[in-house]
A and B are shown apart, each in its own frame.
Chain A
Amino acid sequence: MMKIFGKVAAIVAGSALVATAAFAEDRKSYPAPKDHPLSEIISGYEFRTPETRALQDDDFENPAYILLDLGAELWSTADGAAGKSCASCHGDAAESMKGIGASFPKWSKERNKAITVEQQINICREEQMQADTWKWTKDPNMLGMTIFVKNQSRGMPIVLDNSPEMETVRKLGEEVYYTRYGQLDMSCANCHEDYYGNYIRADMLSQGQINGFPTYRLKWNGVGSTHRRFKGCMKNIRANPFKPQGEEFTALEAYMMYRAVGLPIETPSVRN
């Protein structure tokens, strides 16, 4: 009896292995540079179901486009005491913002720290427009503008700011990535490096790439920022999340861009 059972189990296990391998081969991957922690770089898109991908593929069905339209409108809307809009300085976003989403976070000499697209938006609002700043993670204006800016780089591969300062920032980001936090004592790598392509309960783990952010997330029933997602992950492992747009998350974002180097920007993407 035991023998038969063993045989059946072996066959079942064997076919499951074949099925996983066949599915994995279907994923479009990008070659990783030398000394990169991943052997291949895969967008989160490739881990999602055909239904979720279809939502992203059709710009009309993609619910994030409502916010992109809002961002486009805000781009040329004057706000604040200076009476300026984004367009007053930056002109046509299709030209001036091209590549921005694929290269931030960048080092700011004046501020002596790394800044993200969101931080740059609020810096512009405060200093150039003399307008109120927007809230970081859920403000539709902030999300719309970030999507609009990053969308100008859609399809462009991620490139890195190679200044020594950014290297230091990425070092800190790497530390955050590999440090185990919270009651579950887990690091980002425990899921997204060691087990991508496997299920965690009913959810398929991806490499945790951020090339599609801000993203429309089905679970949120709305659009959210990169740092909101970081926060969510940290809550899941029962840790105290860092502050959105704080030093740790900005460094983590910079390091995540290194992990995604070469991957095309998909903003706004649809994820589950």
Chain B
Amino acid sequence: MAKSKPRVKAPKKASAGDVVTIKTLISHKMETGLRKDKEGKIIPRKIINKFECSFNGASVFSCDILPAVSANPYLEFTMKAVESGEYNFKWTDDDGSIYEKKSKLTVA
């Protein structure tokens, strides 16, 4: 798979005080940097090394990811819904590229 495509499942609506579950997944081969190719040369490391989710600019959840994480990293976390706003999901790749996705939440 050439391109990394982020996917997010987060509720669009919630009542104030609800704890909402957010699921994220990005397709990525997560090359560890420990494997060798047919000629015996090391395949360079290429993984998603950081994930961050912010809500209205404030960080909600973030983590560093290391080579032991398998392909297509899946992360699930919860957040207390207080106000309406917009999520911003950000994945950082070893090669410097950043994959982003946004999603809105309305708190009634």
Partner-B contacts on A (CB < 8 A): 60-61, 63, 65-66, 69-70, 73, 140
Contact = CB atoms under 8 A, between A and B. Distances in A.
Contact of A70 (B1, B9, B23, B25): B1
A73 B7 contact: no
Contacts of A66: 1, 5, 25, 27, 72
Contacts of A61: 23
A41 B7 CA distance: 35
Interface of B: 1, 3, 5, 7, 9, 23, 25, 27, 72
Contacts, number: 19
**Is chain B's interface secondary structure helix, strand, loop, or mixed overall?**
loop
B1 A140 contact: yes
Contacts of B25: 60, 66
Contact of A60 (B1, B5, B23): B23
Nearest to A58: B9
B3 A73 contact: yes
A140 B1 CA distance: 8
Contacts of A140: 1
Question: Of residues B1, B5, B9, B72, which shows the largest number of chain A Cβ atoms within 10 Å of its Cβ?
Answer: B1
B9 A60 contact: yes
A63 B23 CA distance: 13
Given A60-B23, A73-B3, 17 more contacts: A60-B7, A60-B9, A60-B25, A61-B23, A63-B72, A65-B7, A66-B1, A66-B5, A66-B25, A66-B27, A66-B72, A69-B5, A69-B7, A69-B27, A70-B1, A70-B27, A140-B1
Nearest to A66: B27
